[in-house]
Amino acid sequence: MSFVYSLLVIAHLLCWAVALGTWVAAARTRQPSPGMAHSAAGALVFGLIIAVIASVTGDPNHMKLGIKALMAIIVTVLAYIAHKKGPQTPSAVWFGIPVAIIINVFVAVLI
């Protein structure tokens, strides 16, 4: 079971890396790729699966899981809005994506 858990954590981290990387690649033109939205959704799904496994096997930090789930939902929604609007994405939406990803990483590491 720990091998499956580790694979899910790796997939989760790779999805966040792709989401942030595609944002950085598109930052100059503000033309988001569909990969940013899909990888954010993948990170959300993998994170929820990891949270379920952690809840079943032990006593997780529910505050941490809640904050991370909220940030993942925010990133996913903002990424899909940016994908739909394209280059006309409002600045608050566009810059909210990396801020929410970075907050999610800080919560994962520091809480």
**pLDDT single digits (tens) 53-83:** 999 998 899 999 999 999 999 999 999 999 9
pLDDT score of 1 more than 90: no
For residues 100 and 30, the model is more confident at: 100
Asked if residue 5 lies in contact with residue 58, where contact means CB atoms within 8 angstroms, the answer is: no
Nearest to 8 by CA among 55, 44, 58: 44
- What is the number of domains present in the chain? 1
Q: Look up tokens 């694979």; give the residue.
A: 7
Q: What is the extent of the structural domain holding 63?
A: 2-110
36-61 in b/e form (b: 16+ CB < 10 A) is bbbbbbbbbbbbeebbebeeeeeeee
Tokens of 19: 């989401």
Confidence category of residue 9, pLDDT binned at 50, 70, 90: very high
